[in-house]
Amino acid sequence: MTRENLLKNPNGDEDMEFWELTENGGCQWRVEDMPGDCGHAFSDETVTKYFSTSFEQCLKRQVVDLAAEGFTLEDLDFVQPSVTVQDWYCSRTDCGCVYQLAVGLLDENQELMQEFKPDIVSLDPFIDDCSWKQITHVFSDYGPGLRYISFEHGGQDSKYWDGWFGVRVTGSSVTIDL
C-alpha cells in the first residue's frame, strides 16, 4: 500500500506555506497559475499552479518527520519500505534555465544515510523540448535508522533576466510503499 504524498503544498496552492526557502535569489520564488506566460500545459488538470524561480539561485526544502507522519520505528528499521520521490519541472519557451534536485534519507540526528542528487539539468528552449518533465527515484535497502526525508529543489534562469524566467516546478511528491 502506498501512502499519501508526505510533502505538503506540492503545487503552490498554499503559496510558499510549508517550504523553507534555502535560497531566494533574484526576484525570489513566486507561485504562478498554469500554464503561465510562455508556458506549457500540464498532464494533470487538477494541478493548476507551479513554483517559479528567478535570475539567481532559488531553492526550497521540506524535511518530513516520519514518526510524526505515523510510521513506526519497526516498519522503518525492519521492513524498510521503498521511498519514491517524484518531481516535475519545465522551462519557459523564451528563456533557458537550470533545474536541480537533492533528496536525502536522514537518521535521527538528521545525518545523511543515502542521497539522490542527479546532475543539474540545463534546458534551452531553442534546442530542447522544454515541456513538463518528470524525474523519479526509488530508495530501497537503505538500512535501519531512517527517521527523516529531506527534499530540496529549484534552480534559476540562464540569461539573468529580471523577473521569473527560471525553472518551474510542481507536482513534487514523497511516498512510502508500506
Q: Per residue of the chain (178 residues), what is the pLDDT tens digit?
A: 457 999 999 999 999 999 999 999 999 999 999 999 999 899 999 999 999 999 999 999 999 999 999 999 999 999 999 999 999 999 999 999 999 999 999 999 999 999 999 999 999 999 988 899 999 999 999 999 999 999 999 999 999 999 999 999 999 999 999 8
CA of 64: how far to CAs of 36, 72, 99, 103, in Å? 30, 14, 22, 11
The pLDDT value given to residue 144: 97
* Domains identified in the chain and CATH numbers: 20-177 (2.60.120.260)
Find how far residue 58's CA is from the centre of its chain.
12
Residue 146 near residue 62 (C-beta atoms within 8 A):
no
The pLDDT value given to residue 46: 93
- Supply the pTM of this predicted model: 0.94
The pLDDT value given to residue 86: 98
The pLDDT value given to residue 68: 95
Cis ω before 35 (30° cut-off from 0): yes
